[in-house]
Amino acid sequence: MKDLTKGTPARIMISFAVPVALGNMFQLCYSLADTRVVGSALGETALAAVGATASISTLFIGFLSGLTNGFSLLIAREFGAGNKEGVKRFAAGSLLLGAVTALSLTLACLAGLPWILGLLNVPQELLIQSDSYIRVILSGLFVTMLYNACASVLRAVGDTTAPLLFLIFAAVLNVVLDLVFIMYFGWGIEGAAFATVLSQGVAACLSLIYMFCRYRIFRFCPADFKISGEQVKKLYASGLSMAAMMSLVFFGTLSLQCAINTFGQDIIVAHTAARKITEFCMLPFSVMGVTMANYCGQNTGAGRMDRIRTGIRQSLLLTWIWAVGMILLSWTISPRLASMVTGSQNETVLNTAALYLKVNTLFYFAPAAISILRNSLQGMGDHVTPICSSMIELAGKIIAAFLLADIFKYWGIIVAEPVVWVLMVIPLIVKTRALLR
Protein backbone atom coordinates (compact mmCIF):
# COMPACT_ATOMS: atom_id res chain seq x y z
CA MET A 1 0.00 0.00 0.00
CA LYS A 2 1.14 3.55 -0.73
CA ASP A 3 0.07 6.71 1.09
CA LEU A 4 -0.28 9.55 -1.46
CA THR A 5 -0.85 12.17 1.25
CA LYS A 6 2.83 12.34 2.20
CA GLY A 7 6.06 13.11 0.36
CA THR A 8 6.93 15.38 -2.58
CA PRO A 9 3.86 15.48 -4.90
CA ALA A 10 5.77 15.14 -8.20
CA ARG A 11 7.86 12.23 -6.95
CA ILE A 12 4.85 10.47 -5.44
CA MET A 13 2.77 10.95 -8.61
CA ILE A 14 5.53 9.68 -10.90
CA SER A 15 6.16 6.59 -8.75
CA PHE A 16 2.42 5.90 -8.83
CA ALA A 17 2.01 6.71 -12.53
CA VAL A 18 4.92 4.71 -14.00
CA PRO A 19 3.45 1.25 -13.24
CA VAL A 20 0.04 2.48 -14.41
CA ALA A 21 1.62 3.75 -17.65
CA LEU A 22 3.41 0.47 -18.27
CA GLY A 23 0.19 -1.40 -17.53
CA ASN A 24 -1.79 0.71 -19.99
CA MET A 25 0.96 0.29 -22.56
CA PHE A 26 0.77 -3.46 -22.30
CA GLN A 27 -3.01 -3.22 -22.42
CA LEU A 28 -2.62 -1.41 -25.73
CA CYS A 29 -0.62 -4.43 -26.84
CA TYR A 30 -3.86 -6.41 -26.76
CA SER A 31 -5.32 -4.09 -29.33
CA LEU A 32 -2.16 -3.62 -31.38
CA ALA A 33 -1.50 -7.36 -31.50
CA ASP A 34 -5.01 -7.96 -32.81
CA THR A 35 -4.58 -5.21 -35.39
CA ARG A 36 -1.18 -6.35 -36.66
CA VAL A 37 -1.89 -10.10 -36.67
CA VAL A 38 -5.34 -9.69 -38.22
CA GLY A 39 -4.03 -7.27 -40.85
CA SER A 40 -1.01 -9.42 -41.76
CA ALA A 41 -2.63 -12.85 -41.58
CA LEU A 42 -6.21 -12.17 -42.69
CA GLY A 43 -5.93 -9.05 -44.86
CA GLU A 44 -7.33 -5.53 -44.89
CA THR A 45 -10.96 -6.67 -45.14
CA ALA A 46 -10.69 -8.50 -41.82
CA LEU A 47 -8.87 -5.51 -40.31
CA ALA A 48 -11.64 -3.21 -41.51
CA ALA A 49 -14.18 -5.54 -39.88
CA VAL A 50 -12.38 -5.15 -36.55
CA GLY A 51 -12.05 -1.39 -37.00
CA ALA A 52 -15.71 -0.96 -37.93
CA THR A 53 -16.77 -2.31 -34.52
CA ALA A 54 -13.89 -1.01 -32.38
CA SER A 55 -16.00 1.84 -31.05
CA ILE A 56 -18.56 -0.67 -29.65
CA SER A 57 -16.04 -2.48 -27.47
CA THR A 58 -14.42 0.83 -26.55
CA LEU A 59 -17.77 2.21 -25.42
CA PHE A 60 -18.85 -0.67 -23.18
CA ILE A 61 -15.41 -1.54 -21.82
CA GLY A 62 -14.90 2.17 -21.15
CA PHE A 63 -18.21 2.31 -19.28
CA LEU A 64 -17.22 -0.57 -17.00
CA SER A 65 -13.73 0.84 -16.52
CA GLY A 66 -15.21 4.19 -15.54
CA LEU A 67 -17.63 2.46 -13.18
CA THR A 68 -14.91 0.56 -11.31
CA ASN A 69 -12.63 3.62 -11.24
CA GLY A 70 -15.50 5.60 -9.73
CA PHE A 71 -16.05 2.92 -7.10
CA SER A 72 -12.36 3.05 -6.20
CA LEU A 73 -12.47 6.78 -5.43
CA LEU A 74 -14.52 5.99 -2.32
CA ILE A 75 -11.89 3.42 -1.33
CA ALA A 76 -9.12 5.99 -1.84
CA ARG A 77 -10.90 8.55 0.36
CA GLU A 78 -11.43 5.99 3.14
CA PHE A 79 -7.77 4.96 2.86
CA GLY A 80 -6.62 8.59 3.02
CA ALA A 81 -8.76 9.09 6.12
CA GLY A 82 -7.26 5.96 7.75
CA ASN A 83 -10.58 4.04 7.86
CA LYS A 84 -9.65 0.40 7.11
CA GLU A 85 -13.19 -0.87 7.70
CA GLY A 86 -14.47 1.60 5.10
CA VAL A 87 -11.82 0.41 2.63
CA LYS A 88 -12.93 -3.21 3.02
CA ARG A 89 -16.63 -2.40 2.87
CA PHE A 90 -16.40 -0.35 -0.33
CA ALA A 91 -13.96 -2.81 -1.97
CA ALA A 92 -16.41 -5.70 -1.50
CA GLY A 93 -19.25 -3.52 -2.73
CA SER A 94 -17.35 -2.52 -5.84
CA LEU A 95 -16.75 -6.16 -6.82
CA LEU A 96 -20.38 -7.07 -6.22
CA LEU A 97 -21.95 -4.14 -8.05
CA GLY A 98 -19.38 -4.39 -10.84
CA ALA A 99 -20.33 -8.04 -11.42
CA VAL A 100 -24.07 -7.32 -11.45
CA THR A 101 -23.64 -4.39 -13.83
CA ALA A 102 -21.30 -6.27 -16.20
CA LEU A 103 -23.59 -9.28 -16.52
CA SER A 104 -26.64 -7.08 -17.15
CA LEU A 105 -24.75 -5.05 -19.75
CA THR A 106 -23.52 -8.20 -21.52
CA LEU A 107 -27.04 -9.58 -21.91
CA ALA A 108 -28.34 -6.25 -23.20
CA CYS A 109 -25.46 -5.84 -25.68
CA LEU A 110 -25.79 -9.32 -27.16
CA ALA A 111 -29.55 -8.99 -27.50
CA GLY A 112 -29.26 -5.65 -29.27
CA LEU A 113 -26.15 -6.36 -31.35
CA PRO A 114 -27.87 -6.54 -34.79
CA TRP A 115 -29.46 -3.15 -34.13
CA ILE A 116 -26.13 -1.69 -32.95
CA LEU A 117 -24.29 -2.89 -36.07
CA GLY A 118 -27.02 -1.38 -38.24
CA LEU A 119 -26.79 1.91 -36.37
CA LEU A 120 -23.02 1.96 -36.98
CA ASN A 121 -23.51 1.66 -40.76
CA VAL A 122 -21.17 -1.36 -40.89
CA PRO A 123 -20.74 -2.16 -44.63
CA GLN A 124 -22.59 -5.27 -45.76
CA GLU A 125 -19.38 -6.96 -46.96
CA LEU A 126 -17.91 -6.61 -43.42
CA LEU A 127 -21.04 -7.50 -41.47
CA ILE A 128 -20.49 -11.24 -40.90
CA GLN A 129 -16.89 -10.87 -39.73
CA SER A 130 -17.68 -7.79 -37.63
CA ASP A 131 -20.54 -9.62 -35.90
CA SER A 132 -18.45 -12.71 -35.09
CA TYR A 133 -15.59 -10.62 -33.67
CA ILE A 134 -17.55 -8.19 -31.52
CA ARG A 135 -19.92 -10.89 -30.20
CA VAL A 136 -16.99 -12.70 -28.55
CA ILE A 137 -15.57 -9.45 -27.14
CA LEU A 138 -18.94 -8.49 -25.64
CA SER A 139 -19.38 -11.97 -24.16
CA GLY A 140 -16.17 -11.36 -22.21
CA LEU A 141 -17.22 -8.06 -20.60
CA PHE A 142 -17.49 -9.73 -17.18
CA VAL A 143 -13.83 -10.80 -17.05
CA THR A 144 -12.73 -7.42 -18.37
CA MET A 145 -14.70 -5.73 -15.60
CA LEU A 146 -13.28 -8.11 -12.99
CA TYR A 147 -9.69 -7.27 -13.86
CA ASN A 148 -10.44 -3.52 -13.98
CA ALA A 149 -12.23 -3.70 -10.62
CA CYS A 150 -9.34 -5.52 -8.93
CA ALA A 151 -6.79 -3.16 -10.47
CA SER A 152 -8.83 -0.13 -9.36
CA VAL A 153 -9.10 -1.42 -5.79
CA LEU A 154 -5.35 -2.02 -5.62
CA ARG A 155 -4.55 1.40 -7.12
CA ALA A 156 -6.87 3.07 -4.59
CA VAL A 157 -4.61 1.85 -1.78
CA GLY A 158 -1.46 2.76 -3.70
CA ASP A 159 -0.48 -0.63 -5.14
CA THR A 160 0.18 -0.15 -8.87
CA THR A 161 2.90 -2.77 -9.33
CA ALA A 162 0.82 -5.95 -9.01
CA PRO A 163 -1.78 -4.98 -11.66
CA LEU A 164 1.13 -4.14 -13.98
CA LEU A 165 2.76 -7.55 -13.58
CA PHE A 166 -0.50 -9.41 -14.19
CA LEU A 167 -1.21 -7.30 -17.26
CA ILE A 168 2.27 -7.88 -18.69
CA PHE A 169 1.74 -11.62 -18.39
CA ALA A 170 -1.70 -11.33 -19.97
CA ALA A 171 -0.40 -9.16 -22.83
CA VAL A 172 2.29 -11.69 -23.71
CA LEU A 173 -0.28 -14.47 -23.47
CA ASN A 174 -2.59 -12.54 -25.78
CA VAL A 175 0.06 -12.28 -28.49
CA VAL A 176 0.83 -15.99 -28.24
CA LEU A 177 -2.85 -16.94 -28.37
CA ASP A 178 -3.41 -14.60 -31.33
CA LEU A 179 -0.82 -16.49 -33.30
CA VAL A 180 -2.02 -19.93 -32.15
CA PHE A 181 -5.74 -19.31 -32.71
CA ILE A 182 -5.34 -17.52 -36.07
CA MET A 183 -2.25 -19.08 -37.64
CA TYR A 184 -2.41 -22.62 -36.24
CA PHE A 185 -6.08 -23.34 -35.51
CA GLY A 186 -7.36 -21.17 -38.38
CA TRP A 187 -10.12 -19.57 -36.31
CA GLY A 188 -9.90 -16.34 -38.29
CA ILE A 189 -11.11 -13.09 -36.82
CA GLU A 190 -12.86 -14.85 -33.93
CA GLY A 191 -9.50 -16.23 -32.81
CA ALA A 192 -8.22 -12.73 -32.10
CA ALA A 193 -11.31 -12.01 -30.00
CA PHE A 194 -11.00 -15.26 -28.04
CA ALA A 195 -7.33 -14.50 -27.36
CA THR A 196 -8.20 -11.09 -25.91
CA VAL A 197 -10.98 -12.38 -23.66
CA LEU A 198 -9.00 -15.37 -22.39
CA SER A 199 -5.98 -13.21 -21.60
CA GLN A 200 -8.12 -10.73 -19.67
CA GLY A 201 -9.63 -13.64 -17.74
CA VAL A 202 -6.18 -14.82 -16.66
CA ALA A 203 -5.27 -11.30 -15.47
CA ALA A 204 -8.51 -11.10 -13.47
CA CYS A 205 -7.94 -14.45 -11.74
CA LEU A 206 -4.35 -13.57 -10.84
CA SER A 207 -5.48 -10.22 -9.42
CA LEU A 208 -8.13 -11.82 -7.19
CA ILE A 209 -5.69 -14.40 -5.85
CA TYR A 210 -3.07 -11.73 -5.16
CA MET A 211 -5.52 -9.47 -3.32
CA PHE A 212 -6.61 -12.31 -1.07
CA CYS A 213 -3.10 -13.58 -0.32
CA ARG A 214 -1.26 -10.23 -0.04
CA TYR A 215 -3.69 -8.07 1.93
CA ARG A 216 -5.62 -9.27 4.97
CA ILE A 217 -8.09 -6.43 4.49
CA PHE A 218 -9.22 -7.96 1.17
CA ARG A 219 -9.89 -11.46 2.54
CA PHE A 220 -13.61 -11.12 2.09
CA CYS A 221 -16.24 -13.32 3.69
CA PRO A 222 -19.91 -13.63 2.56
CA ALA A 223 -21.00 -11.06 5.16
CA ASP A 224 -18.82 -8.40 3.53
CA PHE A 225 -20.95 -8.52 0.38
CA LYS A 226 -24.17 -7.74 2.28
CA ILE A 227 -23.98 -4.03 1.57
CA SER A 228 -26.57 -1.52 2.68
CA GLY A 229 -28.75 0.62 0.46
CA GLU A 230 -26.76 3.68 1.51
CA GLN A 231 -23.51 2.02 0.42
CA VAL A 232 -25.05 1.05 -2.92
CA LYS A 233 -26.17 4.66 -3.38
CA LYS A 234 -22.71 6.05 -2.64
CA LEU A 235 -20.95 3.53 -4.88
CA TYR A 236 -23.26 4.07 -7.82
CA ALA A 237 -23.20 7.87 -7.37
CA SER A 238 -19.42 7.84 -7.74
CA GLY A 239 -19.19 4.92 -10.18
CA LEU A 240 -21.91 5.98 -12.58
CA SER A 241 -20.54 9.51 -12.63
CA MET A 242 -17.17 8.24 -13.87
CA ALA A 243 -18.88 5.73 -16.18
CA ALA A 244 -21.12 8.43 -17.63
CA MET A 245 -18.10 10.66 -18.18
CA MET A 246 -16.32 7.88 -20.06
CA SER A 247 -19.45 6.81 -21.95
CA LEU A 248 -20.23 10.28 -23.21
CA VAL A 249 -16.70 10.42 -24.61
CA PHE A 250 -17.11 7.06 -26.33
CA PHE A 251 -20.64 7.81 -27.56
CA GLY A 252 -19.06 10.72 -29.37
CA THR A 253 -16.47 8.38 -30.87
CA LEU A 254 -19.29 6.01 -31.82
CA SER A 255 -21.05 8.86 -33.63
CA LEU A 256 -17.90 9.62 -35.61
CA GLN A 257 -17.50 5.94 -36.49
CA CYS A 258 -21.00 5.94 -38.00
CA ALA A 259 -19.82 8.58 -40.47
CA ILE A 260 -16.39 6.99 -41.03
CA ASN A 261 -17.96 3.64 -41.95
CA THR A 262 -19.60 5.32 -44.97
CA PHE A 263 -16.27 6.49 -46.43
CA GLY A 264 -15.09 3.09 -47.66
CA GLN A 265 -12.58 0.45 -46.59
CA ASP A 266 -9.40 2.54 -47.06
CA ILE A 267 -10.66 5.31 -44.76
CA ILE A 268 -11.88 2.79 -42.18
CA VAL A 269 -8.45 1.12 -42.08
CA ALA A 270 -6.65 4.50 -42.01
CA HIS A 271 -8.77 5.77 -39.14
CA THR A 272 -8.33 2.49 -37.26
CA ALA A 273 -4.55 2.86 -37.56
CA ALA A 274 -4.63 6.54 -36.57
CA ARG A 275 -6.75 5.81 -33.49
CA LYS A 276 -4.43 2.99 -32.38
CA ILE A 277 -1.46 5.35 -32.62
CA THR A 278 -3.45 8.10 -30.88
CA GLU A 279 -4.14 5.74 -27.97
CA PHE A 280 -0.39 5.38 -27.50
CA CYS A 281 0.28 9.11 -27.92
CA MET A 282 -2.37 10.01 -25.34
CA LEU A 283 -1.40 7.25 -22.93
CA PRO A 284 0.35 9.59 -20.43
CA PHE A 285 -2.76 11.80 -20.35
CA SER A 286 -5.04 8.96 -19.24
CA VAL A 287 -2.38 7.60 -16.90
CA MET A 288 -1.96 10.96 -15.20
CA GLY A 289 -5.74 11.19 -15.03
CA VAL A 290 -5.94 7.88 -13.13
CA THR A 291 -3.08 9.04 -10.92
CA MET A 292 -4.74 12.36 -10.11
CA ALA A 293 -8.10 10.73 -9.36
CA ASN A 294 -6.47 8.54 -6.69
CA TYR A 295 -4.08 11.28 -5.54
CA CYS A 296 -6.91 13.79 -5.11
CA GLY A 297 -9.14 11.14 -3.52
CA GLN A 298 -6.63 10.28 -0.82
CA ASN A 299 -5.67 13.92 -0.20
CA THR A 300 -9.32 15.00 -0.06
CA GLY A 301 -9.88 12.34 2.59
CA ALA A 302 -6.87 13.69 4.49
CA GLY A 303 -7.97 17.33 4.02
CA ARG A 304 -4.77 18.30 2.12
CA MET A 305 -6.05 20.69 -0.57
CA ASP A 306 -2.65 22.39 -0.71
CA ARG A 307 -1.11 19.16 -2.02
CA ILE A 308 -3.87 18.91 -4.62
CA ARG A 309 -3.04 22.38 -5.99
CA THR A 310 0.64 21.49 -6.29
CA GLY A 311 -0.13 18.09 -7.82
CA ILE A 312 -2.34 19.54 -10.56
CA ARG A 313 0.27 22.13 -11.59
CA GLN A 314 3.06 19.57 -11.74
CA SER A 315 1.01 16.96 -13.61
CA LEU A 316 0.04 19.53 -16.26
CA LEU A 317 3.70 20.40 -16.81
CA LEU A 318 4.69 16.75 -17.22
CA THR A 319 1.95 15.97 -19.76
CA TRP A 320 2.59 19.11 -21.80
CA ILE A 321 6.24 18.15 -22.19
CA TRP A 322 5.07 14.80 -23.57
CA ALA A 323 2.65 16.59 -25.94
CA VAL A 324 5.55 18.48 -27.54
CA GLY A 325 7.32 15.18 -28.17
CA MET A 326 4.23 13.68 -29.83
CA ILE A 327 3.92 16.68 -32.15
CA LEU A 328 7.50 16.14 -33.33
CA LEU A 329 6.90 12.40 -33.74
CA SER A 330 3.73 12.77 -35.79
CA TRP A 331 5.27 15.31 -38.15
CA THR A 332 8.28 13.11 -38.90
CA ILE A 333 7.35 9.40 -39.02
CA SER A 334 3.53 9.10 -38.89
CA PRO A 335 3.20 7.18 -42.22
CA ARG A 336 5.77 4.67 -40.98
CA LEU A 337 3.87 4.28 -37.72
CA ALA A 338 0.64 3.60 -39.61
CA SER A 339 2.40 0.95 -41.68
CA MET A 340 3.81 -0.70 -38.55
CA VAL A 341 0.35 -0.89 -36.96
CA THR A 342 -1.57 -2.21 -39.97
CA GLY A 343 1.07 -4.00 -42.05
CA SER A 344 -0.39 -2.09 -45.03
CA GLN A 345 1.56 -0.47 -47.87
CA ASN A 346 -1.54 1.23 -49.28
CA GLU A 347 -0.53 4.89 -49.84
CA THR A 348 -4.10 6.14 -49.34
CA VAL A 349 -4.31 4.39 -45.97
CA LEU A 350 -0.91 5.61 -44.78
CA ASN A 351 -1.28 9.22 -45.93
CA THR A 352 -4.80 9.56 -44.52
CA ALA A 353 -3.71 8.22 -41.13
CA ALA A 354 -0.72 10.57 -41.14
CA LEU A 355 -2.91 13.58 -41.94
CA TYR A 356 -5.18 12.83 -38.98
CA LEU A 357 -2.20 12.54 -36.62
CA LYS A 358 -0.42 15.68 -37.83
CA VAL A 359 -3.47 17.89 -37.29
CA ASN A 360 -4.65 16.42 -34.00
CA THR A 361 -1.31 16.32 -32.17
CA LEU A 362 -0.97 20.11 -32.50
CA PHE A 363 -3.82 20.45 -29.99
CA TYR A 364 -2.71 17.80 -27.47
CA PHE A 365 -2.24 20.39 -24.72
CA ALA A 366 -6.04 20.54 -24.38
CA PRO A 367 -6.79 16.80 -23.90
CA ALA A 368 -3.88 16.59 -21.44
CA ALA A 369 -5.55 19.26 -19.30
CA ILE A 370 -8.96 17.66 -19.77
CA SER A 371 -7.83 14.27 -18.48
CA ILE A 372 -6.05 15.72 -15.46
CA LEU A 373 -8.72 18.24 -14.44
CA ARG A 374 -11.80 16.10 -14.80
CA ASN A 375 -10.23 13.19 -12.92
CA SER A 376 -8.99 15.55 -10.22
CA LEU A 377 -12.50 16.95 -9.84
CA GLN A 378 -13.91 13.41 -9.55
CA GLY A 379 -11.33 12.66 -6.86
CA MET A 380 -12.39 15.78 -4.96
CA GLY A 381 -16.04 14.73 -5.10
CA ASP A 382 -17.33 16.89 -7.98
CA HIS A 383 -19.30 14.48 -10.18
CA VAL A 384 -21.20 17.11 -12.19
CA THR A 385 -18.63 19.33 -13.95
CA PRO A 386 -16.74 16.41 -15.60
CA ILE A 387 -20.01 15.10 -17.02
CA CYS A 388 -20.94 18.55 -18.34
CA SER A 389 -17.55 18.74 -20.05
CA SER A 390 -18.07 15.30 -21.58
CA MET A 391 -21.53 16.35 -22.82
CA ILE A 392 -19.84 19.13 -24.77
CA GLU A 393 -17.63 16.50 -26.40
CA LEU A 394 -20.63 14.32 -27.25
CA ALA A 395 -22.55 17.21 -28.79
CA GLY A 396 -19.54 18.34 -30.81
CA LYS A 397 -18.85 14.89 -32.24
CA ILE A 398 -22.50 14.32 -33.14
CA ILE A 399 -22.49 17.61 -35.05
CA ALA A 400 -19.26 16.54 -36.77
CA ALA A 401 -20.69 13.13 -37.68
CA PHE A 402 -23.96 14.35 -39.11
CA LEU A 403 -23.01 17.77 -40.49
CA LEU A 404 -19.28 18.36 -40.96
CA ALA A 405 -18.59 14.86 -42.33
CA ASP A 406 -21.37 15.29 -44.88
CA ILE A 407 -19.92 18.59 -46.10
CA PHE A 408 -16.15 18.13 -45.70
CA LYS A 409 -15.94 14.29 -45.68
CA TYR A 410 -12.96 12.99 -43.66
CA TRP A 411 -11.63 16.50 -43.08
CA GLY A 412 -14.76 17.11 -41.00
CA ILE A 413 -13.74 14.22 -38.74
CA ILE A 414 -10.15 15.46 -38.48
CA VAL A 415 -10.97 18.99 -37.33
CA ALA A 416 -13.88 18.03 -35.06
CA GLU A 417 -11.83 16.77 -32.12
CA PRO A 418 -9.47 19.77 -31.70
CA VAL A 419 -12.43 22.17 -31.72
CA VAL A 420 -14.29 20.04 -29.17
CA TRP A 421 -11.23 19.75 -26.90
CA VAL A 422 -10.87 23.52 -26.64
CA LEU A 423 -14.56 23.95 -25.75
CA MET A 424 -14.72 21.19 -23.15
CA VAL A 425 -11.63 22.24 -21.19
CA ILE A 426 -13.16 25.64 -20.32
CA PRO A 427 -15.68 24.51 -17.63
CA LEU A 428 -13.04 22.24 -16.09
CA ILE A 429 -10.60 25.14 -15.66
CA VAL A 430 -13.29 27.39 -14.17
CA LYS A 431 -14.48 24.78 -11.64
CA THR A 432 -10.97 23.70 -10.61
CA ARG A 433 -9.92 27.28 -9.95
CA ALA A 434 -13.09 27.83 -7.87
CA LEU A 435 -12.47 24.75 -5.70
CA LEU A 436 -8.78 25.44 -5.08
CA ARG A 437 -8.88 29.15 -4.22
Residue range 401-411, pLDDT digits in tens: 777 777 788 88
pLDDT tens by residue, 196-238: 899 889 989 999 999 988 888 888 888 888 888 888 998 998 8
pLDDT tens by residue, 58-96: 778 888 888 998 888 888 888 877 888 888 888 999 999
Question: Are the C-beta atoms of 202 and 173 separated by less than 8 Å?
Answer: yes
Of 141, 388, 99, 94, which Cα lies nearest the Cα of 241? 388
Contacts of 60 (CB under 8 A, 6+ apart): 105, 109, 138, 141
- pTM above threshold 0.75: no
Contacts of range 322-326, beta carbons closer than 8 Å, 24 or more positions apart: 322/284, 322/285, 322/368, 323/361, 323/364, 323/365, 323/368, 326/281, 326/361, 326/364
- pLDDT score, position 29: 64
Longest dimension (CA), the chain: 61
Q: Decide: 202 and 209 in contact? Cβ < 8 Å.
A: no
pLDDT tier at 31 (50, 70, 90 boundaries)? low
**Band of the pLDDT at 361, cuts 50, 70, 90?**
very high
Terminal CA-CA length for the chain: 31
Q: What is the DSSP letter of 1?
A: -
DSSP letter for 7, please: S
CA-to-CA separations, 208 to 86, 101, 172, 364, in angstroms, rounded:
19, 18, 20, 36
What is the per-residue pLDDT for 363? 94
Rounded alpha-carbon distances, angstroms, from residue 209 to 118, 145, 260, 388, 401 = 41, 16, 43, 38, 45
Q: Please count the CA atoms within 13 angstroms of the CA of 128 that sit on its side-chain side.
A: 3
Q: CA 417, CA 366: separation in Å to the nearest integer? A: 10
Number of H helices, E strands in the chain: 17, 0
pLDDT of residue 96: 92
